[in-house]
């Protein structure tokens, strides 16, 4: 965190405003590239072809980056405040002791719920298929459950067995982050595969592809 603070303090100084602006734009573009790759991966999981043009998929990727980012930020914020936040809030706004008792369960429910909602939004909007929003719930629940379990196991592995600092030096945190992102993507694809298989077993059968309207090539004036 000391390294992060030094980098941030250097970036946000008044004479680096232009650099910060370009950095934000670059971050948005890089994030949209990641979501564009997720769109392609989900199309493969659902076994559909994507005939949408670039000028539709890239804005969709940017929108997904903002939407899932906001939902995950809410979930992360609730987790960061921790179980003691209920006591602090009850003392400030004079809430009952029942709220203090229930807050540890509420903050876990809200965090997991918003995380599942973010994954559901990704499954519903990203692939080139027509489906109901609630139909994505089983895969989203499986993906989030797998993601939490894999994150916990990776944390145990990093703390007890892998010493990335000795192997990679200052790049150890980056290597750990890349590994975690790899398994996060794996959990997302597992949930998408579950949704695709459940759709095949349902009455509707395989999810229907979203078709782009055909271009008008000629006009029959005689008609």
User: What does the pLDDT look like over 139-193, one tens digit per residue?
Assistant: 999 999 998 888 888 888 777 776 666 666 667 677 777 888 888 888 989 999 9
For the chain, give the percent of residues with pLDDT over 90. Answer: 12
* pLDDT for position 220: 47
Residue 42 lies in a domain: yes
Q: Is the pLDDT of residue 69 over 70?
A: yes
Q: Is the pLDDT of residue 216 over 80?
A: no
Residue 51 lies in a domain: yes
Q: Token pair of 149, please? A: 């379990």
Residue 209 lies in a domain: no
* pLDDT for position 219: 45
Answer yes or no: pTM beyond 0.85: no
Q: Please compute the mean of the pLDDT values over residues 126-145 and round it to a whole number.
A: 89
CA 109 to chain centre: 18
Q: Token pair of 198, please? A: 């459940």
Distance CA 123, CA 108 (A): 23
Q: Is the pLDDT of residue 51 over 90?
A: no
Cβ-based neighbours of 214, under 8 Å, separated by 6 or more:
none
Torsion of CA 137, 141, 143, 144, to 10 degrees: 130
| Contact between residue 195 and residue 123 where contact means Cβ atoms under 8 Å apart | yes
* pLDDT for position 20: 63
State the residue for tokens 């539709």.
Answer: 56
**DSSP code, position 127:** S
| Contact between residue 39 and residue 61 where contact means Cβ atoms under 8 Å apart | yes
State the residue for tokens 């965190």.
Answer: 1
State the residue for tokens 């993906």.
Answer: 143
* pLDDT for position 221: 46
pLDDT band of residue 116 (cuts 50, 70, 90) is very high
Residue 4 lies in a domain: no
Residue 3 lies in a domain: no
Residue 190 lies in a domain: yes
Residue 195 lies in a domain: yes
The domain total for the chain is 1
Structural domain boundaries, residue 159: 21-203
Q: How many CB atoms lie within 10 A of CB 36?
A: 19
* pLDDT for position 144: 92
Q: Please compute the mean of the pLDDT values over residues 27-56 and round it to a whole number.
A: 85
Q: Is 204 helix (H, G, I), strand (E, B) or coil?
A: coil
Residue 219 lies in a domain: no
Q: Highest mean pLDDT range out of 6-15, 98-107, 136-145, 168-177?
A: 136-145
Q: Please compute the mean of the pLDDT values over residues 24-30 and round it to a whole number.
A: 80
């Amino acid at each position: 965190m000391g390294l992060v603070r030094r980098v941030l303090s250097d970036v946000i100084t008044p004479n680096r405003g232009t650099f910060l602006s370009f950095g934000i734009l670059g971050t948005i573009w890089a994030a949209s590239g990641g979501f564009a790759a997720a769109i392609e991966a989900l199309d493969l999981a659902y076994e559909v072809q994507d005939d949408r043009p670039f000028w539709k998929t890239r804005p969709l990727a940017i929108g997904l980056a903002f939407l899932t980012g906001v939902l995950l930020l809410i979930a992360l914020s609730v987790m960061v405040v921790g179980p003691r936040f209920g006591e602090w809030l009850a003392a400030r706004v004079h809430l009952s002791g029942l709220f203090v008792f229930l807050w540890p369960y509420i903050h876990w429910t809200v965090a997991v719920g918003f995380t599942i909602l973010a994954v559901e939004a990704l499954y519903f909007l990203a692939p080139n298929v027509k489906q109901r929003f609630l139909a994505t719930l089983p895969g989203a629940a499986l993906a989030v459950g797998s993601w939490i379990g894999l994150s916990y196991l990776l944390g145990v592995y990093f703390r007890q067995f892998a010493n990335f600092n000795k192997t990679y030096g200052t790049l150890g945190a980056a290597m750990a982050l890349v590994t975690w992102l790899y398994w996060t993507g794996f959990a997302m694809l597992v949930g998408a595969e579950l949704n695709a298989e459940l759709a095949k077993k349902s009455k509707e059968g395989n999810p229907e592809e979203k078709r782009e309207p055909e271009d008008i090539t000629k006009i029959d004036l005689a008609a």
